[in-house]
Each structure stands twice: as C-alpha cells, then as structure tokens.
Structure 1
Amino acid sequence: MKLKPTIFVFAIWATGLCHAYASTSHEIECPTEISAAALAINAPEGWSAYAQEGLRLRSAEPALGPPEEKAFLKPGSTKSIKGGSIDSWLELSGSGPTGKWIVCRYGERGEITLSKKLHDNTSACTVSSRREQVQVSCTW
C-alpha cells in the first residue's frame, strides 16, 4: 500500500505540534541561604545592627503575583514522607495580572522571602521539603 504524501506530511506536522505543546518539568533552585552580609538592617539611631549568620531556606510555594500581593495558593495535596512533606499545586492554569511567581521563604517562620516570576504557561508545581532541603519542580 502506497502512502499519499499529504498523509505523511500531516503525520510529521501533528507529531511536531504535539511535541511543541508537551509540558516539561523544570527544577527551580531557591538559594539555600541569604548570607549575613546580604542582610541590610537599618538600625534605629544610636543602635548598631549585626547579623551573626545568614538565614536558611525553610520552604517555597507558588503565588499569583509577587509576595507583597499576598496571593499565596493552598496546595491541592500534601503527602507526608519520612522527615518531611511533598506539597503539590496541580492546577495553576490561567494567570493573574502580575503572573505566577515562586516564593522562597527564609528564617524560622519564613519572615524573609526571595521571589521569582514563573513562566506564564506554568500549570503545576511540587515542593518537596525534607531535612532542611527544599526542592521545587514546576511544569510548563
């Protein structure tokens, strides 16, 4: 049986189109620490500020917008693992006016954050926290 050229060209085009729209997982690395030298403390007049050590990374989460907008998202699921947990946000489709962001939290209760805008097509993120290590993986 002889294949017609148009069917062959369509098959190649469709394969390429599917590949172009396939989502890929991307690792996002939050800095593991904010160094003491990077902490700028404006002490009140007559006082001196000193930071003995930096702040360690404690957690991460996606948000709709930068952290000052406080549009943090509740994870769709949380799984307990030995020494930690895995939080998943599986439905991040759509976008707010300022986009999707990943927020990395530092300090005992996440008092300081570093944030970064995510790709507009981000559809899911997973944050694995285990024994002082935080791993972020997002799909777009």
Structure 2
Amino acid sequence: MRLAITVIATICASFHVLGIAAPRNECPDVIRPAAVQVEMYGWQSYIEFPLRLSSAGVAAGPPDMRAGLKGERISKRSELEVTVFRFGETGFEQGKWLVCSYGQGGEISLHKRLPENLKACTVSYQTPAKAPRQSIRIDCE
C-alpha cells in the first residue's frame, strides 16, 4: 500500500521597508487539520487537532537530500536554549533551507528555501516555567 500525505500551509508574511513584501524566515506556529490530506486507497483520513511547531533547524538542501545541519548551542538555561547555524562560503549548492517540524516527534515537516546571502540563523527555544508550551524564534542575517 502506498500512503501519500500532502500538507498545504499558508504562511502570512509581514511587509516592511516602503511597502515591499519582505519574506520572513519563520515557521508557521501550527498546521491546521484541514491543511493535511492523507491519501490511501479505501481509507478516509481524519485529523482532530492542529499540529504544533515542535522544532526548527536548517538544512543544506531540499527535503529529499536529508541534509540537516547541526548548529552550535551557545546557550542553554532552564527556560532558554539558543542554537546558531553559521554558513560558510561553500557547501550550499542546493541552497540553505529552513526546516520546521510539527507534532510530538516531528512527524510532518515544512521546508522553505532561504535567501542565498544569509550568513547565519539563530533558533531560540523559550519554555517559561508556567507556560503550556514553548515558543520558537528564528532569526537569520
């Protein structure tokens, strides 16, 4: 049997700098159930809850290359973890890609090609003690 999963995500970008659209390098916070379509002959899919963003990172190529990069952890405290991904001049022939993973174990991921001129991306996980879930922030320069 073949299982096909399609994720349709709409990412809202902020507009800055003289009204010109400037794409932001951030992951959607959730994937809504209606955005996930599972196609398997004889079965009807049902997804009850949104899939929440569980992690973010950077890859040295599109999803089928499975070229995830290991960043440098520069800070880890009880409520804040910061990882930096620094890009050299070579090794990115297939581009630099933002990877956003969803679900408890990253069962679904979204991938977005980043601008070529980026030098680094920082991923910050903040988990306040009384918050129900962590927040993930991506800053690229």
The TM-score normalised by the length of structure 1 is 0.72
Once residues 102 and 80 of structure 2 are traced to their aligned partners in structure 1, the CA distance between those partners, rounded to angstroms, is 17
Once residues 137 and 119 of structure 1 are traced to their aligned partners in structure 2, the CA distance between those partners, rounded to angstroms, is 13
Unaligned runs of 5+ in 1: 1-25
Partner of 2:136: 134
Amino acid at match of 1:100: K
Once residues 81 and 115 of structure 1 are traced to their aligned partners in structure 2, the CA distance between those partners, rounded to angstroms, is 28
8 A Cα contact 2:76 2:82, kept in partner? yes
Once residues 89 and 58 of structure 2 are traced to their aligned partners in structure 1, the CA distance between those partners, rounded to angstroms, is 12
Backbone CA RMSD of aligned residues? 1.9
Unaligned runs of 5+ in 2: 1-22, 128-133
Bigger proportion of residues as helix: 1
Amino acid at match of 1:99: G
Higher normalized contact order (CA 8 Å, seq sep 6+, divided by chain length): 1
Instruction: Check 1:36–1:81 CA distance in 2 against 1; reply closer, same or farther (3 A cut).
Output: same
Confirm whether residue 77 of structure 1 aligns to residue 73 of structure 2.
Answer: yes
The Cα of 1:48 is off from its aligned counterpart by 2.5
Partner of 1:100: 96
Paired residues in the alignment total 113
Q: Stretches of 4+ moved more than 4 A in 1?
A: none
Percent identical across equivalent pairs? 35
